[in-house]
Amino acid sequence: MFAVDHLAAMLRRAGDFLFPPACAGCGRMLASHGAVCQRCWQSIAFIERPYCQVLGIPFSHDLGEGFLSAEAIANPPEFDRLRSVCAFDAAARSLVHALKYRDRTELAPMMAGWMARAGKELLADCDVLIPVPLHTRRLLSRRFNQAAELAFAVSRQTGKPMLATAVRRTRNTAHQVGLGRAGREDNVRGAFTVTVNGKQEVMGKRIVLIDDVYTTGATVSAIARALRRAGAADIAVLTFARALPDTI
């Protein structure tokens, strides 16, 4: 056992020498992997109460328990509640892109820890976690699903089971970047289905959908509709970052 531990320590030191720990936000050297520096931490726009009880949109002042945003009233979502760690600004974008496009999967546990805190009330009541799935073709080109990495880390930290294959993306949709709300909705309409086994697993369950970023909600809404048809009792959404209404 000592020899194995010693070898593991040597490999970690060698890895740190070749790939020294760095802040995912700015690249500044750090003492450990999977962290951000103090300056980047302070620049993250964390979403705290008070906020809309449905969409999690932050309010400038407390409007009372259960108060809803104009967006939630005018366009009620397909899901029941949404919570996010922070606004999708420059600091959050650096972290999301590092995980998603630069294979910084070691960031997932840190980001998931923040998500578990932001979504504490959702996770306390839920039965299962479901990551937003990628189409097989895109998964092969990207090599991993960032939503699944986050869901797996949230599952490990909270003990909530994760259903990785309950929902399938049946159509390889175009990238959502650059599309408006209507274009995003058209792009993902009918793109998700609950699998045969998934229908048995989600029937009557309280579900938390996990994704990296919430923009217009088109993707999670399409999944929520499929889950409703499969008999899910409650559907919440938990993301790392979200675009606020005036930035969509």
Statement to judge: residues 55 and 39 lie in one domain: no
Please check whether residues 78 and 6 belong to one and the same domain: no
Same domain, 33 and 68: no
Is the pLDDT reported for residue 203 higher than 90? yes
Inter-residue contact 78 to 225 (CB < 8 Å)? yes
Model's pTM, two decimal places?
0.86
Do 1 and 64 lie in one domain? The reply is: no
Domains held by the chain: number: 2
102, 114: one domain: yes
What is the per-residue pLDDT for 145?
94
Considering the domain architecture, whether residues 18 and 95 belong to the same structural domain is answered as no
| pLDDT for the residue numbered 9 | 41
Q: Note the pLDDT of residue 174.
A: 53
Is the pLDDT higher at 84 or at 23?
84
Report, as an integer, the average pLDDT of 57-81. 90
Asked if residue 113 and residue 173 are part of one domain, the reply reads: yes
pLDDT digits (tens, 9 = 90+) for 149-186: 999 999 999 999 999 999 998 876 656 565 556 555 55
Residue 15, pLDDT score: 40
Same domain, yes or no: 31 and 50: no
Task: Tell me the pLDDT of the chain averaged across its residues.
Answer: 86
CA distance 150 to 173: 22
Q: Is the pLDDT at 58 greater than 90, yes or no?
A: yes
Q: List, in sequence order, the alpha helices (H) in the chain.
A: 2-18, 38-43, 70-74, 90-101, 108-118, 120-125, 136-142, 146-158, 181-188, 196-202, 218-229
Q: Are residues 4 and 115 in the same domain?
A: no
pLDDT of residue 95: 94
Do 136 and 150 belong together in one domain?
yes
Task: Please report the pLDDT score of residue 20 as a whole number.
Answer: 80
22, 6: one domain: yes
Q: What does the angle CA 109 – CA 130 – CA 227 come to, to the nearest 5 degrees? A: 160
Whether 127 and 15 share a structural domain: no
pLDDT digits (tens, 9 = 90+) for 109-137: 999 999 999 999 999 999 999 999 988 77
Encoding tokens for residue 99?
């995980």
- Report the pLDDT value the prediction gives residue 239, as an integer from 0 to 100: 98
CATH code: domain of residue 146: 3.40.50.2020
Is 60 exceeded by the pLDDT of residue 67? Answer: yes
Task: Give just the sign of the alpha carbon dihedral 86, 117, 147, 43.
Answer: positive
Instruction: Please state the separation of Cα 75 from the chain's center in Å.
Output: 22
What is the domain range of residue 137? 45-247
